[in-house]
Amino acid sequence: MDVKDRKILVELAKNSRMSVQQLARKVGVSREVAAYRIKRLVKEKIIADFYTVIDTSALGYSRQICFIQLQDISGEEEKKFFPWIIKHPYLTYAGTAVGRWNVIFDIFSKDMGHLRIIIQEILGEIRKYLDSYVIVPIHAYESFPVKFVGSNAEITDLVNSEKVDIDSIDKKILELLANNARVEYKELAPSLHMSANAIKYRILRLQKQGVIRGYSVSLNAQKLGYEFYNVQVKYLGTQEEKLLQFLRLAKEVIYFYSHIGNENWDFDIGVVAKSSQELRDFLMALRKEIGEGVKVHDVYALGEMIKTDHVPKGVFA
């Protein structure tokens, strides 16, 4: 990747729905060059997808992370669990891990009753091999999709919002945009049986309501020579804002979840590094900057991605 590619990624992270013409002006290239470079970055799988940032709490859903530890299971037997995860309407961001946990994924649920049902479904699939599991509610989430390629682009901050009433057409629009933020109005029109202008009006209204918070891009860090780790941290200090600012500025951090009420850790931090030494340097810098209040609970490498839908289909049902 050269400087122009990096500029393209930065602009797409800020707004992946902008037109090729707008992008070309911002980057300083012709429309044809911008279109070619985007196509190449997608073909080389550096760009994983263009996604819409949807506040699922405004749709009445909360988000939890499920960590599963399995025992006495082969790699082939473990993989038999993957198709079930892929098909489940309320599970996403599923992947394998190297460390204490075998499989990790996010759960979207309407309430505690709904969450209990989903947990029982999960346990029913893996009870034979289950050693332990933890369900951790997400309080807040911030992401920095292109920081590691040289930009501290605008962050995404998903918070707990009041529920917004939307109809079935709005839900269908959100479902179509969720994993393809660059789809054009005219491409949406046939499946929605609406005019492009009517669809545009609805999308603008969803943005105004705060249901759509923006449009961004996911990068494949491994294609750029990075390994992907998750660091679990307990913070016992009194300057949490200092910790948050460190995470927002550290070039290695591409996201962090904060949790409330978990006795073992308060933050899940996504870290990209080109070597174990780079990971160690990050952890040393974290301890040096924040001080004794930081306790690293666990570190594990993330392996195969099983499911990457940014919002699972059940949310739009």
pLDDT (tens digit per residue) in 165-205: 999 999 999 999 998 999 999 999 999 999 999 999 999 99
* Residue pLDDT, tens place only, 281-299: 999 999 999 987 899 999 9
Q: Are 155 and 14 in contact (CB under 8 A)?
A: no
CATH number of 1-44: 1.10.10.10
Q: How far is CA 308 from the centre of its chain?
A: 8
Encoding tokens for residue 66?
Answer: 């499920």
Could you tell me if 91 and 307 are in contact, meaning their C-beta atoms sit under 8 angstroms apart? Answer: yes
Angle of helix 240-249 relative to helix 276-290, nearest 10 degrees? 150
Per-residue pLDDT, 260: 81
Q: What is the pLDDT of residue 160?
A: 59
Q: Note the pLDDT of residue 201.
A: 96
For the stretch 271-283, pLDDT in tens is 999 999 999 999 9
If one compares 168 and 150, the residue with the highest pLDDT of the two is: 168
- Counting Cβ atoms within 10 Å, is residue 29 exposed (0-12), middle (13-18) or buried (19+)? middle
Domain borders along the chain are 1-44
Please tell me the predicted confidence (pLDDT) of residue 140: 86
Q: Is 35 exposed, middle or buried (0-12, 13-18, 19+ CB in 10 A)?
A: middle
Of the candidates 75, 67, 141, 63, which has an alpha carbon nearest to the alpha carbon of residue 104? 67
CA–CA dist 238, 248 (Å, integer)? 18
